[in-house]
């Protein structure tokens, strides 16, 4: 029996080592990056935000709850998606524009193709433009230009009429405006990289958070490193929503888990983190409740003041819902005064026959439309191109 003692000891040691290995590998398995693929439908995205929210709050509020955080994340952390390249998106989305804008394009073409244009016909054209929210000034301008074209050229064949209308609409939308997004990082005097900071403002419900999410994908597709700041602390779900958008393309969101946290503090943290990490762009989502002008001015003023301690603001994008017409324009005026808007994002153009708002809002604010939202899909945000937009209106 004594002779067998060394053998028993060896077996016991081997068994212990074996058990240890199994334990290690199973704990490793829990930490393996989850492989759940998130589809583009809202339900799956919602699941992720729930869990992302649960996981992060567990980390912050419950102390060392690493096990449950891992488990929660393991359920649904998405595989990183590859967003669609931005160039040519407007052409892909042209059908949606055509469907929404066709009352404008088709009606204008139908009237202009009549044999002898009477005063009533010109009135009808003007009315059509006004109904599409082009605005009184630009509508009158377009009618004058078309009257001159018809008198001088006397075009009557359908192709000629279409070409004439296209040229005048493009002129009205103004292809000469600089619509580039300023998202290039800079270098400060100390030679350090400073990220471009894009502040996104607008009334609640216009699509700000969605736009920040879609814009993140545009920037990632262009090879930028991005960090998001969830400074919409008014609506708790907005930060979850933003975290989900970011996670889908491997982008981190800086947020607070405190109810009603100071949005300026979150914005500051986001920009500071972006600077420390050397990222290219920091995108900051805001709440922008339009309680009153003074309140809005205080909030946005404070956000931009604290941000600029870390990095200059590169862009202030105003998100406007195209379906809200003149009301949207009134809101836009207030934001433009308060926030120093440098570009407009017009959302929900897929759901309106009022594509003319592009012209009205540019004229009203003197700021170009830089991006348009044409659906709820993750890549349904397109850089605005005057010619493609007009072609969309005239298609169909
Ligand atoms: N059809 C369509 N829907 C859009 C578009 N952009 C945003 N939406 C929808 O508009 C709704 C509101 O969007 P949010 O991004 O939550 O709006 P928000 O401005 O951040 O709202 P608050 O956080 O309350 O300030 C969502 O259902 C979006 O899917 C678009 O271009 N087309």
- Residue 302 burial (C-beta neighbours within 10 Å; 0-12, 13-18, 19+): middle
Our answer on whether the CB atom of 396 is closer than 6 Å to any ligand 1 atom is: no
Please state the pTM of the whole predicted model.
Answer: 0.79
Q: What is the pLDDT of residues 126-173, one digit of tens each?
A: 999 898 888 899 999 999 999 898 888 876 777 888 888 899 999 999
Residues 244, 230: Cα–Cα separation, whole Å: 11
Q: Tell me: pLDDT of 55 over 50.
A: no
| Residue 203 annotated in ligand binding | yes
Centre of ligand 1 from the C-alpha of residue 184, in Å: 26
User: H-helix or E-strand containing 240?
Assistant: helix 236-248
The protein residue whose alpha carbon is closest to atom 10 in ligand 1 is 207
Our answer on whether the CB atom of 290 is closer than 6 Å to any ligand 1 atom is: no
Q: Tell me: pLDDT of 60 over 90.
A: no
**What domains can you pick out in the chain, each with its CATH number?**
25-79 (no CATH), 90-173 (1.20.120.140), 186-341 (3.40.50.300)
- Most confident among 78-87, 197-206, 265-274 (mean pLDDT): 265-274
Q: What is the pLDDT of residues 296-318, one digit of tens each?
A: 778 888 999 999 999 999 999 99
Per-residue model confidence (pLDDT) at position 24: 32
Position in ligand 1 atom list of the atom nearest CA 287: 25
């Amino acid at each position: 029996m004594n002779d067998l003692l060394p053998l028993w000891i060896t077996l016991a040691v081997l068994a212990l080592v074996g058990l240890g290995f199994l334990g290690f590998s199973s704990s490793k398995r829990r930490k393996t990056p989850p492989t759940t693929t998130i589809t583009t439908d809202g339900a799956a995205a919602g699941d992720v935000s729930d869990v992302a929210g649960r996981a992060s709050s567990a980390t912050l509020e419950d102390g060392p709850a690493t096990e449950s955080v891992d488990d929660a994340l393991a359920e649904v952390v998405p595989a990183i998606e590859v967003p669609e390249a931005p160039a040519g998106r407007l052409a892909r989305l042209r059908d949606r524009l055509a469907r929404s804008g066709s009352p404008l394009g088709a009606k204008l073409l139908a009237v202009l193709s009549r044999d002898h244009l009477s005063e009533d016909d010109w009135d009808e054209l003007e009315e059509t433009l006004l109904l599409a929210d082009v605005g009184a000034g630009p509508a009158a301008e377009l009618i004058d230009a078309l009257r001159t074209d018809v008198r001088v050229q006397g075009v009557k064949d359908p192709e000629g009429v279409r070409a004439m209308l296209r040229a005048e609409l493009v002129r009205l939308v103004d292809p000469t405006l600089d619509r580039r997004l300023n998202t290039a990082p800079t270098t400060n005097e100390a030679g350090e990289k400073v990220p471009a900071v894009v502040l996104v403002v607008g009334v609640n419900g216009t699509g700000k958070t969605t736009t920040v999410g879609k814009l993140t994908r545009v920037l990632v597709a262009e090879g930028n490193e991005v960090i998001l700041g969830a400074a919409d602390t008014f609506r708790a779900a907005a930060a979850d929503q933003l975290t989900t958008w970011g996670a889908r393309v491997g982008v981190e969101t800086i947020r607070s888990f405190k109810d009603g946290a100071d949005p300026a503090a979150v914005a500051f943290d986001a920009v500071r983190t972006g600077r420390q990490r050397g990222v290219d762009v920091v995108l900051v989502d805001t709440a922008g409740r339009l309680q009153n002008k003074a309140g809005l001015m205080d909030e946005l003023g404070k956000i931009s003041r604290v941000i600029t301690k870390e990095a200059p603001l590169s862009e202030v994008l105003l998100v406007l819902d195209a379906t809200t017409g003149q009301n949207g324009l009134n809101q836009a005026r207030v934001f433009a005064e308060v926030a120093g808007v440098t570009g407009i994002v017009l959302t929900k153009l897929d759901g309106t026959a009022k594509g003319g708002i592009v012209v009205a809002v540019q004229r009203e604010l003197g700021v170009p439309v830089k991006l348009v939202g044409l659906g709820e899909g993750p890549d349904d945000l397109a850089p605005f191109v005057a010619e493609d937009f007009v072609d969309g209106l005239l298609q169909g």
